[in-house]
Structure formats: structure tokens, C-alpha cells
Amino acid sequence: MPSLILAANGFPHAYGNEIRAVITLLVAIGLAVAVNRAFSSRGRRLAVALGGGGLSPVVDTRLRFLRRVIDAVIILIGVALALAQFAQLDRIASTVLASSAIAAAVIGFAARQVLANAMAGMVLAVTQPLRIGDLVTFEGETGTVEDISLISTWLRTGSDARLIVPNERLAAGILRNDSIRSPTVALEVSLWLAPDADETAALEALEDLEDVTGARIAEITEAGVRVLVSGAAVVPAERLRREGELRARVLRAVREAGVPRAGAGA
């Protein structure tokens, strides 16, 4: 029995650092969970205060990003405090500090992409060229903004696939946002005609279509003539479906008018 008591008393002394480190990590994780719940509760209260219609895209985007930044900071501080419990790390730290220039260069090079994406995410959250729920087009891909994290932005395409775009690339690229500034967006579809096609007959046939607001020659190349057809404005969520319908009617009208398309022959 005395040996068991001595062993029990000696356990905290032998593994005190490990115990404090684990407790510190658990406290950090618990604090992060509490912050998440507090933000979610605050969001629900704001939604109720706004009449139950939900948060605006602007507020929703900023709350999500701010919550993730706070979570990351809490976890990083918790890990740092946990590591600080081990005195043995002092010798390692002294060795690393002796070659701090090399270590900083290696770490900076390895983390450059992650840090760049995180900084770009902060810029996107503040300037908000896109928000949660916006319909956007980036590098030829169109989708609805589903989430904006610290590192990447998630787009949901029309086929319900997920397109994950690094924030740095998104912030530096050219982005089309159909949901910002205006509640509606005009329809636009292109049609290529053969180089020797009768563009006048094609334009007349297209302008007679229902819901077409205009048709014009947008580009002339050796490969053919590109005609840009505009349709009536619709809500952003309907753009992809309505453009598909307009594209089908445009193609049918040109065929019925007997105007050859590029690469299709007469």
C-alpha cells in the first residue's frame, strides 16, 4: 500500500508537464467550440431580429470568416502554451535560434502558399467581391458560393459538384459576380456563323425571337462571325437555365433561316 501511495504521489511530478500540456490543449479546444456556438447563437438571433428571413450575404460571409480566424488563433495559442510546458524544448529552441535565418527562410518558403491564401481570404472577407450564396463565374466555371474558408472558396456548380478555388488565385483573377449590386442579370449567349454566312438574315431571325432584347456582331475572325444575343433580365439563380433555353432557341432560329454556322456547313 505505501508503495502505491508513493507511486500516486510521484505521478504528477513525473508527468506534470504532459498533464499541463494536455489540459491546455483541451481548454483551447473547448474555448474554440464555445466561440463557435456563441457565433451560431448570435447569427440565429440576428436572423430572428430581421424577421426570420436569414442573414444577409454580407453579414453571413463576415461572420463565417471571423469565426474561423478566431478558431485558428485560439488553437495556435493553445498549441504554443502546451509546448511551453516542456523545458526540454529550450535546448531545441536555442539550436533553432542559432540558425534562425535558415529556419525562417525554410519555414517562410514552405508556408508561403498557405499564408498567401489566408491573407487573400481576409481581403475577400473585407472587400467582398463575392459573398455566400452569390452566383459567380471564375475561369469559365460557374457556380454558387457555398463557403469561404481561410484557405479556399467553395463553389457549387449546376451539376451539384464542388469547385474548390484557392483564395490567392481567386483574389488575383477576374471574377464575374451576377448577384452583386443588382438583383437581376441580363442573359447573353454567343453563336458562331460561317465566314460567308448572311449575317443580316441571321440578325433578323434572332431579333424576332421572344424575350430577345438585341443581337449584334461581336467579333469577326477568319474562323467565322460571332453573334452576341441578349435576353431579358432574370434573377441570378435562373441565369444558367434560362441561358440554356435561349441558346437552344437561337440555334433553332438560325437553322430555320438557313444561315450556316461556323464548322457546320450550309
Give the single-character DSSP code of 194: P
Tell me if 143 sits within 8 A of 157, measured CB to CB: yes
pLDDT the model gives residue 248: 92
Quote the cell numbers at residue 182.
Answer: 443588382
Tell me if 70 sits within 8 A of 35, measured CB to CB: yes
Query: In degrees rounded to 5, what are phi and psi of residue 114?
Result: -65, -45
pLDDT the model gives residue 10: 56
Domain residues for the domain of 245 are 185-256
Summarised one tens digit per residue, pLDDT across range 120-134 is: 888 888 888 888 889
Identify the H or E element spanning 117.
helix 100-127
DSSP letters spanning 30-76 = HHHHHHHHHHHHHHHHHHHHTTSS---HHHHHHHHHHHHHHHHHHHH
CATH number of the domain encompassing residue 200: 3.30.70
pLDDT in tens, the chain (266 residues): 555 444 445 555 556 677 777 888 888 888 888 887 777 777 667 666 655 556 667 777 777 777 888 888 888 888 877 777 666 655 555 554 455 555 555 555 556 777 888 888 888 888 888 888 899 999 988 899 998 888 899 999 888 889 999 999 998 889 999 888 888 888 899 999 998 888 899 999 998 888 888 899 999 998 899 999 999 889 888 888 898 899 999 999 999 989 988 765 43
Is 149 within the bounds of a domain?
Answer: no
Is 122 within the bounds of a domain?
Answer: no
Is 236 within the bounds of a domain?
Answer: yes
Is 65 within the bounds of a domain?
Answer: no
Is 157 within the bounds of a domain?
Answer: no
